[in-house]
Amino acid sequence: MSTIAEIEAALPNLSDEELVRLDRILHRLYRDRHNQPLYDDQYGLYTEADLIASAEEAFLAYDCEEEEHAKRQAR
């Protein structure tokens, strides 16, 4: 079993305090790796990769809607 799968399986068993501690550890690791977060506050990290993924999701939704609109117009 992979380490990620083991961690994911253990997460539901963690207490709220342990989850907060884990979140802090993850934030520190991102900072230590200089992942250049756009936002880094008590609510979480938001990186450039997150921004790109959000934009891609929005553009895909827009493209699908545009395609559906074109199909409706062709009828």
pLDDT single digits (tens) 2-41: 899 999 999 999 999 999 899 889 878 877 886 666 666 7
The answer to pTM > 0.75 is: no
Q: Note the pLDDT of residue 38.
A: 66
At 45-74, the pLDDT tens digits run: 777 778 889 999 999 999 999 999 888 887
Q: Note the pLDDT of residue 7.
A: 92
Residues 6+ apart with CB under 8 A from 46: 37, 38, 39, 40
